[in-house]
Structure formats: C-alpha cells, structure tokens
Structure 1
Amino acid sequence: MDDGMAGGKSSLTWVVNISVVLLVALWLFPTAGLFISSFRTADQISSSGWWASMFPQEQNQTLRTARPGEDNIAEVNGVYQIDGNLFVAEGQAADIDAVQATISAWGTGSLNIDEYAPGDTADLGDGEQITVQANGDYVWTSPEPQSGRGQRVFTTAKTPPEFTLDNYRNVLFNPNNREGMAKAFFNTLTVTIPATIIPILIAAFAAYALAWMDFPGRALLIAAVVGLLVVPLQLALIPLLRLHNEIGIGKGYLGVWLAHTGFGLPLAIYLLRNYMVGLPRDIIENARVDGATDFQIFVKIILPLSYPALASFAIFQFLWTWNDLLVALVFLIDSSGDTTVMTKQIVELLGTRGGNWEILATSAFVSIAVPLLVFFSLQRFLVRGLLAGSVK
C-alpha cells in the first residue's frame, strides 16, 4: 500500500517508535540509577557508577593496624610483634571470616600506594617491618615495643558488590539523625493530601455549574478561568502571604492548603468543565424530567461519569504539590523546622552535606516513590481526562 494513501502506514513510524524508546530511556535510566545508588555504600558510590554496581569494585583505602597495647604485643624470638587483619581493625568486617575484599597492591606512603604486592614485607625504618597479605592479614614487627597509633597502610582492594538497607534506616528511622526524612515525609503528606482533595471538591461543583447551569455572567467566568491559567503564581505569592497574615492564618498548614487550592483551581475547573460538557445531554435532561435536582444530578450522574477527569487532575495536583518548594518556603516553613517538607529537607542536605551521596540518593528516591505510585495507579485515566472535550 502506498505510504501517501489514506489509512496507509507512515514511513516515519520507525522514527516515532525510536523517539518513544529514547524518551522512556531518558526517564528510566536516571530513576534506576537513583534507586540502585540508594542501596550502595558511600565508598562504592564515590568509586564507581551505579551501572557497575553488580561487578567487583577496585577501591583505594587508607587502613590502620590495631593500636599497640599490652594485650596485642607479643615477643617472638626477641622481636615484638603485632598481628591481625586490616579490615577487622578498621571495623569493615566483624572477623576474619567476614572479610570479602582482596588486596591487589599496597603501600606505606601516600605517594606509592601500590609499591608492594600481597605477601611483600615493607621496611618502616628503625628496624620495624610490616607484611600484608591479600586478605588483609598483617604482621608488624619491631625490635622495641610498638607505641602510638596503629601503622597506616594504603591499599588497593577489590570488593564484591554490596547492597545495604542502612541508608533507608538512617534516613527514615534514625531519631537522632538530623538528616532523617521521616518527619519531612509525613509533613509532605499532610500538605499534599488536603491540597489535592480540596481543589477537586471545589472545582467539581464550579465545573458543573459552568457546564450545565444557566446564570448571568457564566461566559465571563469561563473566560476568567481561562485567563487565570496563564498568570504566574509568583505574582500572587507576596500579596497572598500578606492577606494570610492580616486574617490571622500566617504560616501553617491551613495557609499552604489554601494557597495550593487557589493556584490549582483554574486548571481543575477548566479540565473538569471540558469533560462535563462532553457528557451526553440526554442523560441529564432525562434526570431533570424525572424530578432530580441539580445536586442529585451532580452527585449521582456527573461525578461517577467524570472519574477519568477527576483522576487526571488529581495526578497533576498531587505531583505538583508533592514536588513543590516555592509555595512551601513562602507559606509553610518556620524557624523550628517542625513543618519542613521533603523538598526543603533535600535542599538542606545538598547545602550542608553535599558529599554524602548515599544519603542524598536515598532521600531523593523516597521523595519520588509516592508520586510514582500515584502516577502508575491512575495513569490509565490521564489521557482520557486530558482529551476531554477535544472531540465532539
């Protein structure tokens, strides 16, 4: 069939398919990387990318022997000796059986970290020597009893893949950790759920009135709603905050709920009205003939039929409110931090502990887990709601 004929398959279909695959990959790869990184340790994240997480990693580490003391210095053939395991001494392994790393090279100075191979003996001066094996076992000998701190050893070791839940325990359940996200998580839920439900309830009533009720000025109200869609919310932040302070709301949950409601209503009314206008007129007229009031028609007919549009707006409002930082900074954040939301908490982590990538990755994935769940639960209604009223 000719490509130019009506109903023929376009020759650009493969371009569309490739574009879709690239867009999916563009969103999927960073999300997968964030998820994998949230289970990795800080050393693994700093030494390799998330795509290499399933393979052994080679890391450079600075380890120390055990601190010399009466309990670990033994005299053997007139020489004082301390033996042990570098990884156990540093607390990276509970005992020798738990050691999984394998040393491929080591050194006693930062300029020559690969000077020796496993099993070699290094001269530390003044008659002191140290021998390091591949599994981290060492023997430190000296003609005089050792003192001071443990001997520093620079190692290059391969470690097997390691995944841990400690990052999530640290972020969510550690009450003594100021980086904990549990409180911010529930604060965000406290903001997001009412800020999603309230505008839906108000917009549903308004959309029904604008779609099916005749009253003076209806066309002007519809035009006003459309006009408000293009008004930047930044213009209203300061005047609205002043209004909140004058009426005694100030900064708090009520203020941020009302702010999100006001900013979300134009889109909600526009989206729901377009959908309700497209509903069959015969159903509504028959209900009126049977004596149903506008409220009964709205509750028993319009709302059940408008579920796709309601779910579509709920997705947009929930995602926008959950990921919001600007409105929360203006209408919610206080000096005590009791109402800090997750976006603000993550900003603080970036500003004060930007090197702790495992904490940042875990916090970021926790913040996107709920929006992903909401989106995939309701996404089948998204297209139906967005296309409402576009085809007659």
Structure 2
Amino acid sequence: MDNIVGQKSSLTWVVNIAAAALVLLWTIPTFGLLVSSFRDRDQILTSGWWQSLFPQEASVHYRAGAPDTAVQEGGLYVIAGNVFDGAGGVVSAFGTNSRDPAAFAAGETVQTNDGYELTVSEDGAYRLTSAVPFEGTRGERFFVTTTQPPTFTTENFVKVLNAEGLGRGFLNTLTVSIPATVIPILVAAFAAYALAWMEFPGRALLIAAVVGLLVVPLQLALIPLLQLHLKAGIGKSYIGIWLAHSAFGLPLAIYLLRNYMAGLPRDIIESARVDGATDFQIFLRIILPLSFPALASFAIFQFLWTWNDLLVALVFLGSTQDQLVMTGQLKELMGSRGGDWEILAASAFISIAVPLAVFFAMQKYLVRGLLAGSVK
C-alpha cells in the first residue's frame, strides 16, 4: 500500500534536495560570471569572484614612466608616479626582481639593478632618481605587494559594447535566430498533426525516421548540405542558414509536438469532425491553442541553440564583418585579448542576456511541454 496514488512519498525530501542542487549548479556560475564582469583584470587574476567584497592582497609588477618623462630636480633626474593610478590602496612591500617581489618594506629607498634609486611609499607613490639621464625607451620595472579595497567598474561593458562590429553582430544574430525559430515550428506543427491524427500509408515509418534523425550529428550533414545550398544558389545567405537551422531542428520539433498532440483528448477531435470541421480547421482552432506549451518549450530550445551557435553560422553565412553573428564578433574581439579575462566575462554575460530573458519569460511552459505525452 506504499504506492497508493495521492500518498506522499517518504523520499520527497530527496527530490527537493536534488532540485535545489540543480538550481544552485545553474545559478551560481551565472552569478559568478556577472560579478566577474564588473571586476578589473588584476582582481580577477588574484582572487575568485566570491572574494570580491573583501580587500585583496596581490603581488603585481609595475613599470615606471618612460625615460623621456623624467624631470630634472637640482642635479638629479626624477621619474615619479603612483602605482594605483588613482584607484586607491596600500603598498606593504616592494621589490626589484620577480624572485623576491616583497624584499623591501614600503618607504625604503633601494638601488635597482641599473643603478637607479627607487622609493615606493605606502600610498603607492614611487620616485625613481638617477644622477645621469635615464637610458633606453622603456620604464624601469619593479614589483609591489598591495592591499586594495573591493572595486567594481562598468568599463568592461563599455569596451565590449563599443567594440567595432558588435552592434552589427547583434542584429545579425537576431536576423538569424528569429526566423530560424519560427520556420521549424510552423513546419513541425503541420507534420506533427498529420503524424498524430491522420491515417495514411507509411506513417509508422515516418515516425521511426524522425526518431532516427534525432541521433544524427549535425556535423555529418554540414558539407553535403552546404554543397546543396551552393548548387541551389542560396549558399552564404540568410535564406541558407534559416533552412539549415530549420532542418537541424525539425526532428526534435516534430517528435516533441507529435507526442503532445497525440496526448490530447480524442473526444474533442472526433466531436469537431462530427460537426463538419476540416482537418485544417481542427488544427488551427483546436490543436494549436491546446499545444501552446509544447510550441513554447521547443521555441526556447531552438532560440537558445541558434543564438549561441557559431559553427553553423560560419559554414552557412560567412565570416566577413557584415555577416558575423555576435558569437563570431566576440571570438574576434577575444582573438587579440586572450589574457583580458574581464573582457571575456563581460562579453559572455552580454551574449547570454537575451537567452536568459527568453528563458525566464517562457520557463513555465518548458516542463509542461517536455512532459507532453508521458501521461495518458
């Protein structure tokens, strides 16, 4: 009698804990990415995002001003500045080489390897002096151990949003994603109704073929499909990539919608036919309104896939500045900024902002649509 319908299971707490764990696994990295996108490069390199609210101690190298910035004070040549550049912080130690970056206490005056005298104060002000003119074209390098208060900045987003071509990439992504989401839904809805409620020879084989296509990797079809598009004259165009995304998304769409439509009450369909409704009228006035949860759940999956896609876009659309989608533009931006983690964090969060908005707006239909057809 332990499995009577309506009786609360003793393992409910296990399900609740598992659900909470899955939510945390999804939200914690997203929140960490958001926090990192507002931090500067040095803070990201020296501490994790969970430490962003606390003062950070770090040992970093700094290069003094160039020799041509030196000024003469009496008989000395002086280069002065501040390692914090107005950001604020406290210097606890400094050094002249990487093997011992904290060799001297703040405020001491030491001699560098090139014979100059260096002083670094606690407030970050440094003073490099020499009895003879400074040589070379680059400033003297030294190391400082600092304690800086937590700081946040929007400069990372300004750099990304002002990057050349990113706005065009955003529009290209919308131009690709919206039709590539709508087209397979329209086609799959008609096909799913036919497979669920219309009797015709070969219907079982078509259903089996749809299920088989679900496991075919899209990479296997990229080259043959591109060759077909080029012969048809739609290669490297929006029409080509819309059809490509639609073809890759149709098996899942048909399978999902067919299962949902097959689970709708048969009495409603038969009553409509008795009243003289045609298949198209039944589909338009009864099936589509009742199938909205399944349509919305597939729309979420398809939009997320097309929005985040890079491979299909590069193959079927191109890689010029006018054709690159946003993921391609961000890849180009990071090509020359491989070590700028703050730029990467801001870029990643901008790229997921629209999918997150779509997901939260339609999430209530997701589970309802995925469970379609599982219970009769």
Query: Which TM bucket (shorter chain)?
Result: 0.7 to 0.9
Work out the CA distance in 2 between the residues paired with 1:124 and 1:51: 38
In the alignment, which of 219, 230, 248 is matched to residue 233 of structure 2? 248
Mapped pair 1:357 → 2:341: yes
Higher deviation after alignment, 255-264 or 338-347? 338-347
How far off its partner does 1:339 sit? Answer: 1.7
Q: Is the 8 Å Cα contact of residues 73 and 80 (structure 1) preserved in structure 2?
A: yes
Q: State the partner residue of 1:171.
A: 160
Work out the CA distance in 2 between the residues paired with 1:255 and 1:241: 8
* Structure 2 counterpart SS, 1:59: strand
Q: Write out aligned runs for 1:273-288 (5 A).
A: 273-288=258-273
Q: Write out aligned runs for 1:1-392 (5 A).
A: 4=2, 6=4, 9-67=8-66, 72-75=71-74, 80=76, 82=78, 84-87=80-83, 92-93=84-85, 98-123=86-111, 129-142=117-130, 144=131, 146-148=133-135, 151-175=140-164, 181-334=166-319, 336-348=320-332, 353-392=337-376
Give the fraction of aligned pairs with identical amino acids, expressed as a percent.
Answer: 63
Judged with a 3 Å threshold, the aligned counterparts in structure 2 of structure 1 residues 369 and 122 are, in CA distance, closer, same or farther, namely same
Output one character per residue of 1:93-151: Cα deviation in whole Å (capped at 9) or x when no partner. Answer: 3xxxx441211111234443222212222245999644322102344455x46444655
Judged with a 3 Å threshold, the aligned counterparts in structure 2 of structure 1 residues 289 and 126 are, in CA distance, closer, same or farther, namely closer
TM-score under structure 2 length normalisation: 0.87
Work out the CA distance in 1 between the residues paired with 2:53 and 2:45: 15
Work out the CA distance in 2 between the residues paired with 1:69 and 1:232: 60
Work out the CA distance in 2 between the residues paired with 1:22 and 1:195: 33
Q: Is the 8 Å Cα contact of residues 77 and 134 (structure 2) preserved in structure 1?
A: no
Amino acid at match of 2:371: L
Work out the CA distance in 2 between the residues paired with 1:213 and 1:11: 44
Q: Is the 8 Å Cα contact of residues 171 and 182 (structure 1) preserved in structure 2?
A: no
Amino acid at match of 1:112: D
Judged with a 3 Å threshold, the aligned counterparts in structure 2 of structure 1 residues 151 and 250 are, in CA distance, closer, same or farther, namely closer
How far off its partner does 1:384 sit? Answer: 1.2
Amino acid at match of 1:120: E
TM-score under structure 1 length normalisation: 0.84
Judged with a 3 Å threshold, the aligned counterparts in structure 2 of structure 1 residues 295 and 42 are, in CA distance, closer, same or farther, namely same
Output one character per residue of 1:56-114: Cα deviation in whole Å (capped at 9) or x when no partner. Answer: 12222333445567984332xxx537474323xxxx53xxxx44121111123444322
Output one character per residue of 1:226-257: Cα deviation in whole Å (capped at 9) or x when no partner. Answer: 33323333332222222111111112221111
Q: Is the 8 Å Cα contact of residues 66 and 84 (structure 1) preserved in structure 2?
A: yes
Work out the CA distance in 2 between the residues paired with 1:70 and 1:339: 45
Q: Is the 8 Å Cα contact of residues 60 and 144 (structure 2) preserved in structure 1?
A: yes
Q: Is the 8 Å Cα contact of residues 73 and 145 (structure 1) preserved in structure 2?
A: no
Work out the CA distance in 2 between the residues paired with 1:193 and 1:323: 13
Amino acid at match of 1:41: D
Judged with a 3 Å threshold, the aligned counterparts in structure 2 of structure 1 residues 221 and 83 are, in CA distance, closer, same or farther, namely closer
Output one character per residue of 1:197-234: Cα deviation in whole Å (capped at 9) or x when no partner. Answer: 00001111222223333444434333332333233333
Judged with a 3 Å threshold, the aligned counterparts in structure 2 of structure 1 residues 74 and 200 are, in CA distance, closer, same or farther, namely same
Unaligned residue ranges in structure 2 (runs of 5+): none
Amino acid at match of 2:284: V
Work out the CA distance in 1 between the residues paired with 2:129 and 2:233: 75
Amino acid at match of 1:173: N
Work out the CA distance in 1 between the residues paired with 2:69 and 2:46: 38
Judged with a 3 Å threshold, the aligned counterparts in structure 2 of structure 1 residues 346 and 137 are, in CA distance, closer, same or farther, namely closer
How far off its partner does 1:31 sit? Answer: 1.8
* Structure 1 counterpart SS, 2:235: coil
- Over aligned residues, Cα RMSD in angstroms? 2.9
Amino acid at match of 1:22: A
Aligned length: 373
Work out the CA distance in 2 between the residues paired with 1:17 and 1:125: 63
How far off its partner does 1:287 sit? Answer: 3.4
